[in-house]
Chain A
Amino acid sequence: MIDTIVLGLQQLGDPMVWIALVGGSILGIILGAIPGIGPGVGIALLLPITYSMEPLAGITLLMGLYAAGWYGGAIPAITINTPGTGVNVLTTYDGYPMAKGGEPQRALSLAYASSFVGGVFAVIVLMVAAWPIASLSRHLTSIDLGMAALLAMVLVVVAHRGSELASFALLGAGLFISTIGLETAYGSARYTFDTTWMLAGVPLIAVILGLFAIGQAFTLIFSDRQIEASDTEMKRGLLGGFVEVFKYPRTLFRSAGFGVAMGVLPGVGEFLAQFFAYTTARATSKTPEKFGKGAPEGIIASETANNAVPPAALVPLLALGIPGESFTAMMLTVFTIHGIDPGPTLFQDNREFVAGLYMTLLAMNVVIVLLLLAGTRWIAKLSSIPDRLLGVIILCLALVGSYSTNYRLTDTIIALAFGVLGFALRRANIPMVPIILGLVLGPIMERYFRQGVGAAGGDLSVFVSRPISLAFLILIVALVALAIRNAIVGRKRGPADVSG
């Protein structure tokens, strides 16, 4: 472990890593602090740029955006009762009442300190757990890994309660789109309609830009929403929370544990992590009546849990090469572009990269907190930027991003097509994660299943003859059955708006 730390610190000597670290953190805080935007748009827009960077700097930039977004989202949640991102919703419950009660600095400080503890705790878990899990995964066969990828997708679908059928449909669409192009094993063209530009397949970057950036820009450009700037007076005193959080050690570390557990599980993520952490904190509190009225434990629970998720979400990605949600799926593309193969070999072949990643993640939490301590006063004003202006800016960035990746008009057209789809999905309130996961995990799953079934000479009993794949299969069948049952029960109670 000490070797890893020393090696990681050496990687921090690269100035590009620091530029990515600080730049990603600043952008993440800004995007998180503007309600309705979130770091997803920034990750989509910056993804093409990271392809030309060194892998550690590229991943650091994206992780900076990802982690800092949740930190920044707490600012409008506390100052104007409007969460910056979906994962800061529960922070409004106690953060805003505390701010309205005349203690905005205390609320913000508690949020920053809790986020910091959650983030650092999760990085430590990542450092301790990723390597053993990766070592264990060396004993997994192609079928086991294919089933793990399938399980990850099913978990993501089932996590979207109320939209399971729509999520399954989008997952199927994403998986299908991933098959378009020249198939590598036999060199046959699939759904290319005799065009040459489709032989390379549907460019993932165009899909991501379309769904996340262009779709969001279309939504914002037609928005009438105008949020008033915070009139909260920001004085000094943002450090107090870093002592106060440790007065609630049980809430703090239990919430961090929830965040880590939910981060490791595909498809669960920050939203459920903060929900579980908050409800558990209230249930076990000596003063549950104070929750919703400015209880410090409420802020600690939600912010610790949601900030523990991003590093924990890297565990399945690094150890198994299987992303559990859309942001880590986007990061997997950076690994692929640079020829880095996540999974057991990563820890042997790219030790410097892994060690560097651990140290940058730790440094990232420190940098984000320092930036917040210095800039909260100004960041709080960002929430008043009109949506329509943000839409114009995002559309300009997406235009350049979609064209400059390959200098092909077709990429821009594909991005636009997915932008329209993203717009429609947002209007229908249908999640976009399944389509991205299908696109990223489709080729991985197909490759593993082909290898595994081929090695068994086409004998399908290979899926049930090994305990691990059998266990995964049982879990998948149970989850699908549960999803169908939920859809039927939901239909009987009153049909859901979209998908039962």
Chain B
Amino acid sequence: MSEDNGQVEPPFEEERHGGKYLLGGMAAAAVILLTLHGSQTVDGSKVSGNLEVGWWAEPGLSPAVFLVLTVLASVAGFFAATRETIDWDEVAGEYGRVAILSGCMIATVFLLKIIGFALSILVFAAVVAFIAGFRGVRLVVIAFAASASMVLIFRVGFSVWFPRPELFKLIDMPFWLQGVL
């Protein structure tokens, strides 16, 4: 189980939060997916040109079994768990920040195609560092260091390709530099 087993007794034990609701959410999602089973799996006889296939080869069998397992275990877990007192304002704050970070990541993927790898990472690192609480000179240093490191690791070190950004079509820049930035 490796490191994950450490979660049974982690070095920085914190209170458990939201497990009951997480399991409840999983159960609800699994039930919804089960109701869609008929439309989201096509039976073997249809896909194989009306050839007779056994029940064991029906494409919908495994998803149904696994979803039923998820529903049973998560419902049991939900009812077996203790009632939790949740500070919903705190939870909303935390997940709100997670949502903002997620939005930044998605926006950065779009930015990659417009301003290029190095600048996108610079902007992304600056925003994330700001959300993490860094300000002033530290924020600037972290953003530039992160961008430079990413360029060195991925563009120079591993030669990872990225699409040519729109910005570079407007600027006269050496080809090798375009490949790095």
Contact = CB atoms under 8 A, between A and B. Distances in A.
Interface of A: 35-36, 38-40, 49, 52, 66, 69, 82-83, 85-89, 156, 159-163, 165-166, 168-173, 175-176, 179-180, 183, 185-193, 218, 221-222, 225, 267-272, 309-310, 313, 325-327, 388-389, 391-393, 395-397, 399-400, 403-404, 407, 409, 412-413, 416, 419-420, 423-433, 438, 442, 446, 449-450, 453-454, 457-458, 487, 490-491, 495-500
B23 to A, nearest CB: 6
Interface residues of B, number: 89
A interface, by DSSP: helix, strand, loop or mixed?
Answer: helix
Contact of A309 (B2, B4, B41, B44): B2
B63 to A, nearest CB: 5
A454 B56 CA distance: 7
A396 B124 contact: yes
B76 A165 contact: yes
B2 A269 contact: yes
Contacts of A395: 101, 105, 128
Nearest to B51: A186
Contacts of B20: 498
Interface string B100-135: 011001101110100000000100110011011110
B77 A399 contact: no
A327 B56 contact: no
Nearest to A162: B8
B150 A400 contact: yes
B35 interface: no
A420 B91 CA distance: 13
Contacts of B43: 188
Chief secondary structure at chain B's binding surface: helix
A270 B6 CA distance: 9
A196 B78 CA distance: 35
Contact of A500 (B46, B59, B81): B81
Nearest to B133: A388
Given A188-B42, A453-B56, A83 B22 contact: no
B132 A391 contact: yes
A424 B66 CA distance: 22
Contact of A179 (B12, B14, B63, B98): B63
B102 A416 contact: yes
A85 to B, nearest CB: 5
A308 to B, nearest CB: 13
Contacts of A171: 69, 73
A496 B8 CA distance: 13
Nearest to A494: B82
B127 to A, nearest CB: 10
A427 B112 CA distance: 32
